Amino acid sequence: MSLNSLAASDAPGAETLLENVRFELMPFDSFDDEIQHLPEGATIAITTSPQLGIDRTIEKSEMAAEKGFDVVPHVAARYVEDREHLEEIARRLTEAGVTDIFVPGGDREEPAGEFESAYDLLTTLSETEYSFEEVGITGYPEGHEFLDEETLAEAMQKKEPYATYIVTQLCYDPEAVLEWIRDVRDRGVDLPVEIGIPGVMNYKRLTQISQKVGVGDSIKFLKKTTGILGFVRQLIGSRGTYKPDSLVDGLGPHADDESYNIRGLHIYTFNQTPDTESWRNGRLST
């Protein structure tokens, strides 16, 4: 049996990971329909869109929370104008019952206001009357397009006191993720990690998205198992659709290892929830 065909019950720890997921969605027009395909009370992370701005993220967070979902809005620092704007966002989220936020720096080239980084926003938030039970920060298993490893490590050390967990950037290589977690632990950072994985998606669209978000070596990993010929066969055999089976199965054996402290999966759905949830349920039901 190939790794790709393993059922969740056959892959140690895979079921644990697949039962502890959050679904990341973008607040586009399709959002309202996408959440209809998710389990009742599911945890939904809602991104900040460069096109729509952070106010749309807050609006969709309020709406999803009202429908009973466990909402985790992205409060991207470079999209927040100033302390007053931050307090308004925090107030609205608090009134909506949101207890968990994710704070990335944001991919906006020029900040909308005074916050250059996630650290800037986190320190300011700590000075306000608002607080959240859970605060997530970003981890980069394959590095960052514009920041070197030393800068990333220093940034995480600074943000750690304000955070309760880490979410990793999209990565297809389980060993790259595990090695990165080991490095983080060696640096003394013990925050639990939610591992970011892609959902089910057309290969062409997925590789295009991966390049946009700065995933480099992971694209090569899609082709690594049996070389380019194997990649082509996999592409044809799957009818052009990527499924993260081998990634989940590679991470599964470490799901209960306290030294890794993996608390679940963060699925980058790219608003393709029906196919992703069908795949996840299929894995759990076998």
Q: Which pLDDT score, from 0 to 100, does residue 51 have? A: 86
- pLDDT of 148 reads 77
Cβ burial 37-57 (10 Å sphere, 16+ → b, else e): bbeeebbbbbbbbeebebebb
Spatial separation of the C-alpha atoms in residues 220 and 142, rounded to whole Å: 12
Angle at 132 between CA 124 and CA 15, to 5 degrees: 130
Mean pLDDT of successive 10-residue segments in the chain (286 residues)? 40 90 94 96 94 95 98 97 98 98 91 96 98 96 78 93 95 90 96 95 68 45 44 51 89 95 94 94 89
Q: Strand 241-242 relative to strand 201-202: parallel, antiparallel, unpaired? A: antiparallel
From the list 19, 16, 20, the residue with the least C-alpha distance to 253 is 16
Phi, psi of 138 (to 5 degrees): -90, 145
- Residue 211: what pLDDT? 53
Please name which of 52, 44, 46, 119 lies closest in space to residue 79, comparing C-alpha atoms.
52
> Looking at this protein, which amino acid is placed at residue 182?
R
**Cα 56 from chain centroid (whole Å):** 19
For residue 75, what pLDDT is reported?
98
Predicted pLDDT at 109: 83
**Distant-in-sequence, close-in-space partners of 44: CB < 8 Å, separation ≥ 6:** 22, 23, 24, 25, 35, 38, 64, 69, 70, 71, 72
What order do you get walking across the sheet with 21-25 strand by strand?
Answer: 70-73, 43-46, 21-25, 262-268, 193-198, 165-168, 134-139, 100-102
Spatial contact of 191 and 166, defined as CB atoms under 8 Å apart = yes
CA Rg value for the chain:
18
Q: How many helices (H) and strands (E) does the chain have?
A: 12, 10
Give pLDDT, residue 207. Answer: 64
- What was the pLDDT predicted at 50? 86
pLDDT at position 201: 84
Residue-range domain boundaries for the chain: 3-278
Domain 3-278 has CATH 3.20.20.220: yes
Q: What confidence score (pLDDT) does residue 101 get?
A: 98
H/E element, 187: none
